[in-house]
Structure 1
Amino acid sequence: MARTRSVVVGVDGSPPSVRAALWAGAEAVRTGLPLHLLQVDGAPAGHTIDELTGKCRKAIPELVVTGEVTAGHPAQELVRRSAEAQLVVVGSHGHGAFREALLGSTSTSLAAHARCPVVVVRGEPRTAGPVVVGVDDSPGSHAALQHAFDHAAHRRTELIAVQALPDAHFSADVYPAPDPREIRTRADLHLAEQLAGWCADYPDVPVHRDVANQHPVTALCHAAESAQLLVVGHRGRGGFAGLLLGSVAHGVLHHAPCPVAVVRTAR
């Protein structure tokens, strides 16, 4: 018999991990999946795994939730569990081993190597607002659009697709200088073409296009100011090049005003 996939959330007893667990619990109910709380190497303070499991059950009575404490490195263990998970969720900050996992290079490793989408829950999650997705015509962008449209459809909310303008627009050395209006018009047309198929598949999702004359981090964070979720692909090109491996990764994962979903392109 096939094993049921679950939503796995890494917890360490800190308030951010509690918020991540509650966000993950709501997402598990939305998708009809069980929630599994995973604590690696114990937590130095805060809620124990049993307390947090009880807190989730009390807050979301219909939730099916289990808890586990195991040894290992947090990011490596979460990457390993991601092979059988539907989604892996973590808080944006923690303490102890999880602080290193979320604020250091291991955070990038988790997002880059997880076999399923990863959500980093930032701030106080919202239950209303649009879903924002970064688009750049790459395989990673395609996977991000799938996740974003699905989330928007289930949450019955609108979707904002953000396209950063070509890098040439930011260069002062390009001659002859490109016409900003022409660049914007072409980018908006190309964005509409990329979204056409998705709009046909999800006719009930209102879609807004945002062609931004800004750096990708600024454009995404600005568009997500009132969003309930920001979705980005694992890898991109153009304005989103190096999304998880450079400064843009740190910008989005550490400065976004809402939960961030990182969707890895399937091999």
Structure 2
Amino acid sequence: MPWLEIHINTNREDAPLIEDQLMEVGALSVTLQDNADQPIFEPALGETPLWSETRVTGLFEAEVDTSTIDSQLQLPTKANFKWHIVEDKDWEREWMQHYNPIQCGDNFWICPSWIAPPNPEAVNLLLDPGLAFGTGTHPTTFLCLQWLATQALTDKDIIDYGCGSGILGIGAILLGAKQVLGVDIDPQALLATQDNAQRNAIAAERFPVVFPDKCSNSPVDVMVANILAGPLVELAPTLTPLVKPGGKLCLSGILATQAEAVQAAYAPFFDFDPVAKKEEWVRLTATKHA
């Protein structure tokens, strides 16, 4: 069954009002999008920023009377709109068609679980991310995987803080780590991590997953945390004691402009390597003082 969408071009001030009107006239969902290529990477705590030019999209059933909707909406003078037919698709399969294997090291690949690995002899991480963050396509995840592929992880204990899909922890185990503890605030992430670990034939006891309040206090050899700059700064007092003296720290989810602030939060206890950058994102790695 097809659907109908109304696209309304407006500004940040009027977007919330238009959103409310669309819900009142029966929209099944409302989406706010950037309409002028103006990225917002990380809002400040408690903020919900919008773009100076915002597109508000309302989704309706195909049988809706568009002329009635038009008459009910009281749009600002500068707002303009247009109706579109949306083809009904299997959106999960549509997304799957565009997710291909990713090489993160000389002998290390991330492979969608529904595609045969390009190199069966390599270390192949089979992934179905589900609703959790972490496919390897985002620069922050790729930078962490690339770093893990260069480390001596054999028999190491690791914490994957903010584990998402479990991609970093699973990669570490496949590269030789003894055990990884996955930590996340999102129940969906913990489920996705467990599913992906099982898909890669990793026993549950090698990759247990917990909420932050259940995280072990025992220091580990390697800490990886691919979150965002703000939470990483706030978590510095929590993460620092969880790394053994001489242990490794890998932080990502950080914009290049935020690198100094994150480094400053950990610098009293860690010696940092040169910053690794991909597009506008960076990865910070460091060794804890002995």
Scaled by the length of structure 1, the TM-score of the pair is 0.34
Larger Cα-atom Rg: 2
Going by fraction, where is helix more abundant, 1 or 2? 1
Compare relative contact order (CA 8 Å, sep 6+) and give the higher one, 1 or 2.
Answer: 1
More strand by share: 2
TM-score, normalised to structure 2, is 0.32
